[in-house]
Structure 1
């Protein structure tokens, strides 16, 4: 590992007094002294426990994990390398060397810890496992990369690469947004197997599977607008065209079988079909523009590299 002064461990917290001290101590035992706890205004003594364990504690100015991470990296961290983890003692601090190695070797700008590589019994409910698998599959389908565990809270990245990401999510959607932005900005990403354990008894999760899962799906789809416009507009176009086809079929069935006319539904069917076709065409055009933009950006980067040589 490089000098420990080059690495800052970032722990976003919210009412995690039961576990935060042991997490801070575990990372200190792993050789990392610069540990920043950014807290969302805990009322259970989380901040005091973190300070006593040796962490630097800052209370975030806003709310939500995403806002905390952005504020911490932008305003409170100077180290070139950042390790981000949850403060619930589900991750193993001993995996930190493996997480940092791709950064220190120059292999990657961003590292994701794959929890599914060594998930201990009870670490994740069956519902959450299914939801995670579906979200990772959707990410691969929409954004074309297989990161295996885009919802993992165990990350390592260079501060410079993080500041190049356009991040706006305030809550648990931050991990998904980071993964999408890495694809969009063509950052090199490494996936490292890590251990994932059950939360210790007495600690409560801040995650709400249904609500937060919905937010993550919306974030995935919203980001497709600029990263995969053919999927974004094409899916909307296909849905609208299908709705028009169904309405057309209904109108024709009623007319042939019963001789009944449905002018309003027929007008709606034509409108839906036309809208769907227009969205599909727009999706193809937007995809072509994006491809040309990426080609121009690649040429510009190569020209910059050739000039620097």
Structure 2
């Protein structure tokens, strides 16, 4: 593999002393002269091990993977291309060429490594596989794009495209946010197959599947507000309308069969139905405005390109 003078290898870390040395050495030996390790306050020797292998080590001012990535790209990276991966030795330098080629060729601005293309035995529990596939299906439904593996930590992207994104997640939600921003801002995105390896023995994961999975689902839904308002407001509208109808049916049955009136519940039912219908209407209008906005931006881009 030839050296990549315009590439920064970005590795956010927290307590990765068992694996970070091998990761840095692997990429340095492959010709990457700028390996940037961002440490999130590790309680072990992660920074020292990384530095000893030739990495450039910086300490993030906040906490969480998302904050580390944002701060690193904006303040510590000056190269055109960024190859981002975790420091747990689950990703290989052998896939670096496939990740970077679309960027260097100008065919993409953001590349996602699909772990499911070659998922090695023991690399991911059955529960995590189910959760990942569920989140990917949810992303495709809400945001209208199929990126195969939006939670992959192996990414390659141009610094310019990253700076276009509006990112706020501090933790593992950063990958989800980046995928949503790619879909929202029409950032040219390519998915390539990679190999995903199990973590070496003695290396503990910082991921908490249930907690982090819940955060990711909430992030997907929250981001639908501006990228797919019909789904966002429509789903709330359907929930409110259905709840109102269920309460109304109960009130009607009670009045017919037992001659019992539930005035308060009837008011709540009517309120739920009215709010639900209004939310549905608002979702349709918001989706129309978003479509017109995107069409206008596309025409502006076409006119600018023809000049």
C-alpha displacement at 1:3, in angstroms?
Answer: 5.3
Q: Which residue of 1 aligns with 2:34?
A: 34
Structure 1 gaps, min length 5: none
Mapped partners of 1:3, 1:77: distance in 2: 17
SS class of match (2:5): helix
Which runs of structure 1 show a deviation greater than 6 angstroms over 4 or more consecutive aligned residues? Answer: none
Q: Which residue of 2 aligns with 1:276?
A: 276
SS class of match (1:21): helix
Q: Which residue of 2 aligns with 1:194?
A: 194
Is 1:262 the counterpart of 2:262 in the alignment?
A: yes
Structure 1 residues 9-24: aligned runs within 5 Å: 9-24=9-24
> Can you list the C-alpha shifts for 1:125-183, whole angstroms capped at 9, x where unaligned?
11100000000000000000000000000000000000001111110000000000000
Mapped partners of 2:54, 2:192: distance in 1: 27
Mapped partners of 2:103, 2:170: distance in 1: 26
Q: Which residue of 2 aligns with 1:155?
A: 155
> Can you list the C-alpha shifts for 1:21-56, whole angstroms capped at 9, x where unaligned?
000011112221110000001120000000001100
RMSD: 0.8
Structure 1 residues 1-309: aligned runs within 5 Å: 4-307=4-307
Mapped partners of 2:25, 2:257: distance in 1: 76
Does the CA contact (< 8 Å) of 2:85 and 2:153 recur in 1?
Answer: yes
Mapped partners of 1:239, 1:106: distance in 2: 44
SS class of match (1:9): strand
SS class of match (2:112): strand
Does the CA contact (< 8 Å) of 1:2 and 1:104 recur in 2?
Answer: no
Does the CA contact (< 8 Å) of 1:237 and 1:280 recur in 2?
Answer: yes
C-alpha displacement at 1:306, in angstroms?
Answer: 1.3
Does the CA contact (< 8 Å) of 1:112 and 1:156 recur in 2?
Answer: yes
Structure 2 gaps, min length 5: none
Mapped partners of 1:32, 1:192: distance in 2: 20
Mapped partners of 1:7, 1:135: distance in 2: 30
> Can you list the C-alpha shifts for 1:108-140, whole angstroms capped at 9, x where unaligned?
000000000000000001110000000000000
> Can you list the C-alpha shifts for 1:33-92, whole angstroms capped at 9, x where unaligned?
110000001120000000001100000001110000000000000010000000000011
Mapped partners of 2:231, 2:27: distance in 1: 42
Mapped partners of 1:155, 1:248: distance in 2: 51
Size of the alignment, in residue pairs? 307
| TM-score w.r.t. length of structure 2 | 0.99
